[in-house]
Amino acid sequence: MDKLPKIALPAIFALIVLVIIISKSAVTIGSGEAGVLYKTFSGGVVTDEPPLGEGFHIVAPWNKVFVYEVRQQEVYEKMKVLSSNGLDIQLEASTWFQPKYEDLGRLHKEKSEMYKERILLPAIRSAARSVVGRYTPEQLYSSKRDAIQREIFEETKKIVDGQYIQLNEILVRDVTLPTTIKEAIERKLKQEQESLEYEFRLVTAEKEAEKVRIEAQGKADANRILSASLTDKILQDKGIDATLELSKSPNAKVVVVGSGESGLPLILGNN
């Protein structure tokens, strides 16, 4: 009984030390995350091995693990830029991105956990200023939104491709112009729309008038051709044919051929 406490104390101490070591050595990587291993006594950040994947890991207690989110993320940026004629434009954009998994160690070593603030956001701002500076406020307000979005994405991608960042998409959510410029553009667009509508009505009316002229000319030409073809002989033959047809009626009694003016037949008598 006297020896029990002497044996139990070292065992308890060893157990406590073991629990501390395990707690310091155990690392759990969550869903959508990866870990970068830092070896305190053997080279620092590990860049030549894949990062630690999801799940439970045991590492030496004197080493560290830096956990990164590796699934797609979104960063929202609101910035002021200048148009081609020097006007202030407010641009709001969302960026979809994620760190490149296989280069996570290099990203941590060279850019740190602040890579969004140090690399991504400055790249977006620089690309946005460059692209918007090529366009007038009218172009920004109307037809160039998709082109601007595509160009900002392409220019930002060129910057971040070598920085271990995967850029998935940039979405321009809003382009805000100065109120006076916006109102002037809206008035101009309205006037252009009214002008186009007026021109359309003129073209439609002109086409309708041309249609009427063509129809009238066609009728006139047809009457002229018909008049030129109707000689006295033809009219006389047509009259004889018509009279003979009438003579077949049960009401007709006497047909005198050649008794009328111009020698046309006459029908005399009826019931």
If one compares 141 and 55, the residue with the highest pLDDT of the two is 55
Given a cut of 70, whether residue 192 has pLDDT beyond it is no
From the centroid of its chain, how far is CA 47?
40
**Backbone phi, psi, residue 65, to 5°:** -125, 125
Q: Is the pLDDT of residue 179 over 90?
A: no
CA dihedral sign, ordered 89, 95, 100, 104 = positive
Q: Residue 240's pLDDT is what?
A: 63
Residue 186's pLDDT is what? 61
Q: Determine what percent of the chain is predicted with pLDDT higher than 70.
A: 66
The secondary structure element, H or E, covering residue 112 is none
pLDDT of residue 25: 76
CA–CA–CA angle 28, 71, 29 (5° rounding): 5
In the chain, the amino acid numbered 117 is E
Separation CA 234–CA 240 (nearest Å):
10
pLDDT digit string, tens, across residues 125-163: 999 999 998 888 878 776 677 888 999 999 999 999 889
Confidence of residue 108 (pLDDT cuts 50, 70, 90): very high
Say what the pLDDT of residue 139 is: 80
How many Cβ atoms from other residues are within 10 Å of residue 165's Cβ?
A: 22
* pLDDT value for 229: 63
- Predicted TM-score (pTM) of the model is 0.62
Beta-ladder partners of 33: 69
For residue 1, pLDDT over 50 is answered with no
Q: What is the mean pLDDT of the chain?
A: 80
Show the tokens assigned to 165.
Answer: 């960042």
At residue 241 the predicted structure's pLDDT band, cuts being 50, 70 and 90, is low
pLDDT at 17: 62
| More confident call, 29 vs 224 | 29
Distance of CA 35 to the CA centre of its chain: 37
pLDDT of amino acid 115: 95
Q: What percent of the chain has pLDDT over 90?
A: 37
> If you average pLDDT over residues 230-250, what whole number do you get?
63
pLDDT digits (tens, 9 = 90+) for 9-54: 666 666 666 666 666 678 899 999 999 999 988 889 999 999 999 9
Top-ranked range on mean pLDDT: pick from 2-6, 59-63, 118-122, 224-228:
118-122
Q: Which amino acid would we find at residue 34? A: A
Rounded Cα distance between 251 and 65, Å, is 122
**CB atoms near residue 52 (< 10 Å):** 20
**Neighbouring C-alpha atoms within 13 Å toward the C-beta of 95:** 27
- For 38-47, 94-103, 178-187, 206-215, which range has the lowest pLDDT when averaged over its residues? 178-187
Q: Which residue has the higher pLDDT, 263 or 101?
A: 101
Task: Indicate whether 88 pLDDT > 70.
Answer: yes
